[in-house]
Amino acid sequence: MKKKAIPEVVIDRLPRYYRYFRSQLGQREKVSSRELADVLSTSASQVRLDLSYFGGFGLQGYGYNVEELYTRIGEILGIDQEQYYIIIGAGRLGRALADFPVFREVGFTLRAIFDNDPQVVGSRIGGVQVSDVAQLAGFVRNGQAGFAIITTPPEAAQGVADILCQNGIKGILNFAALDLNVSPGVAVSNIHLTDRLLALSYWIKEQRKA
Residues making contact with a copy of itself (CB under 8 A): 11-12, 14-16, 18-19, 39-41, 76-79, 83, 85, 91-93, 95-97, 99-100, 102-103, 106, 108, 147, 154, 170-171, 173, 177-179, 185-187, 189, 191-208, 210
Question: Nearest distance from residue 94's CB to a copy of itself, in Å?
Answer: 8
**Cα-based distances in Å from 159 to 73, 129, 162, 187:** 35, 22, 5, 17
Closer to a copy of itself by Cβ: residue 29 or 195: 195
Question: Nearest distance from residue 200's CB to a copy of itself, in Å?
Answer: 5
Question: Nearest distance from residue 105's CB to a copy of itself, in Å?
Answer: 8
The C-alpha angle with vertex 10 and arms to 207 and 3, in degrees rounded to 5, equals 165
Q: How far apart are the first and last CA of the chain?
A: 50
Beta bridge partner(s), residue 110:
85
Closer to a copy of itself by Cβ: residue 80 or 134: 80
Closer to a copy of itself by Cβ: residue 64 or 147: 147
H helix intervals, the chain: 8-24, 33-39, 44-52, 66-76, 92-98, 101-105, 136-141, 154-166, 193-209
Question: Nearest distance from residue 29's CB to a copy of itself, in Å?
Answer: 22
